[in-house]
Structure 1
Amino acid sequence: MSLPKSRLLVIGCVWPEPNSSAAGSRILQLLEFFLAENYEITFVSTAARSEFAVDLEKMNIASQVIIMNHPSFDELLKKIRPDLVLFDRFMTEEQFGWRVDETCPDAVKILDTEDLHFLRKTRTEAYKKNISAESLYFDVDITKREIGSIYRCDLSLIISEVEMDLLQKEFKIAKNLLHYLPFLLETISYENKAKLPPFNERQNFISIGNFLHEPNWNAVLYLKEKIWPLIRQQLPNSNLEIYGAYPSQKVWNLNNEKEGFIVKGRARNAEYVMKNAKVCLAPIQFGAGLKGKLIQAMQCGTPSVTTSIGAEGIPGALDWNGFITNDPKEFAEKSVRLYSEEKLWKNSVENGFRIINSRFNKEAFQQDFSERLTDLVQNLNFYRQKNFIGKMLQHHQHRSTYFMAKFIEEKEKNKKTAG
């Protein structure tokens, strides 16, 4: 007689779109991990289903659209009776965490931060005001909200070592509440490398990124205004192809074929366009977490030029698969060298393979995460007793969110009655 499967409920901010963003790839990696751990998974979201979302049913994952501030979610919890609840970003924990506590108090609550939203937001504001982000993030509301969410959960998954250090050193969050879990990637074998197009079969520069993400739009604008003209002066026959999901009209307006600045929009197959490009350009000025486009470039054997923010949390002590610079003139010069010098290009490609194989080894991180979950499930009461701040925040959040939700429920009832 086989043991019953553990039940996992994933509450997503949006439906997973792995071909649109790094966040979409990240949640898909987590779903695959839990499937391999023999979990029975239900994925829910308040967002409308996207035509670009992965087909969860094909993965044997149940899915459902849910309503915010509605008692139907409580009924769903009673039906599923999850052993674990995974919140995809802190906003979903704010919206549904208190309901999980009331209906399924013994369920382990895990927060996948994706990246630290407060860090991304304050870096954005700091960039616009030309001030230090450190002068902002202790005071803004989003920091208090996100840190509060981390304390209310039993474990928070942190994608970058830089963010782990920030949370522990600056915010004094106990290590037992955090778990470093970067992208979970397959190692690149010799056979995989041999299948990738070589230097002389590739052409064009590439920039790629979801345009709903402000750092990506800013990076493309920075390329257009400050970097690409310098590159084109030295490589007058080269083109830069701009890919990204959800481009607005202002993005399309940048297209200029005479200048070799070609806006392509959404890539039907991001891997295909990346592995056929010669060099990836990502002059990212602000942001947080790990940059999926640069990880994918390494997997595809495509060297890249980026900034210190772009490379943050990726190489560790290893050499970058190209160059890291924050100066636009040097950025252009290094880009031209990578595009033109075959030996430099090949060495950079190998650097990328080393980073993927040693820094994002799927098997090593999955094993560690599995053991951490087992310990957490078996000793849940012990860890919760140690987290007094979390218990205090739960108490206050429950009251405020509870009354607000009840107010909205009654308001909706009155609307129907009046109708």
Structure 2
Amino acid sequence: MRIIVATAAAVALLSSGAARAQTADVPDNLEKLSNFQSTGTTEFRFIEQSGEYADGIRKTLERITLPDGFKIELYAIVPDARHMAVGPQGIVTFVGTRKDKVWSVTDRNKDRKADEVKDFAPSLTFSIPNGPCFSNDGFLYIAEQNRVLLFPAAEFFYESPDVAAFNLVAKGDLIPTDEESFNHTARVCKIGPDGKIYISLGQPFNVAPAEKLDKYNKYGIGGIIRMNTDGTGREVYTYGVRNSVGHDFHPVTGELWFTDNQVDGMGDDIPPGEINHQTAAGQNFGAPWYGGGDVRTNEYKGEEPPADVVMPAVETVAHAADLGMEFYEGSMFPAKYRNAIFSAQHGSWNRTTPVGARVMVTFIDDEGNATTEPFAEGWIDENGEYLGRPVDVAELRDGSILVSDDLAGALYRISYDK
């Protein structure tokens, strides 16, 4: 049975307490799917891609400014769209949320607009499945609040409500269950050049208390962990991170770069946000001794920071909320964008004058020096109202990029016409 859900109604339903109450009673079918058994699920939820809602988003996109030659268009309506993973075969893009859905987005006729958006693995009960990522051989990983799932051949199986699914990290083993929180729960993942999976684990506090630090360092909370893609060999790779929701590896050097959201409550203009560059395992990036950049936190201003804290490669405007990022490896854009970082600023939540809500580009020279500038902006209007809030950036096989927006519930495609 095919269920079509009007976009506005879908957004309201997925946001409601009633929807959460309904899904709370749905059994977790992971064991059946791991044994290639049917769950009896037969229905998808399909999201309508046309109508007034889509027209309203297109109207907003008319105000977005870009460098000459670039254009932005609506690619798909995707409720609560967060981080994205484009399948290696280019067949489908998987989109995570901070709720209980993962969406599959398909452009079947290759007109560079999605024809179909439906929920992925509807027989499973997800919990904040924010972070999908792909291996080169087509294995999909989804990092949830406290679990990591593995879906072999997801680009093939996604056409069925039942999909092959396995635990990479079982529920309750990603972080201790007593450290689960409603705050900073959005995980992201990427497969590194070493073939390992890297997963960010934000710590839940504005500034982590001293009595938590040993425990957090042990599990990698407030850091980035890595492990083999069979779940073995877990280790903490990155320390001193407040809440990173975006990382990627330089296409040439293979080194890790990541965004980090910095401390609130210190004023409108401090501390800066960060884009960081990691050159070796075990480096410490300063939290909670530093609130962002070299700005010391009030809670730790009398404490000696760890030796050899790595300062950010780029300081960004305070409270703009730098989230998803990806190195550009395509050939559609002009040559200067090759190996640059495209990143999303979600926008400030409590700054007196809102900032962010835009896509940034960071250029890196041969010595590793980085400079950042706006690339696509205009999602904050003259009244300071958010018309959209970009979350993540992903590259399509044709060299265009997708931008997700969890406020509008949409994916945008940015292309370049020579």
| TM-score, with length taken from structure 1 | 0.27
Query: Greater helix percent: which structure?
Result: 1
Looking at CA atoms only, which structure, 1 or 2, has the larger radius of gyration? Answer: 1
Higher strand share: 2
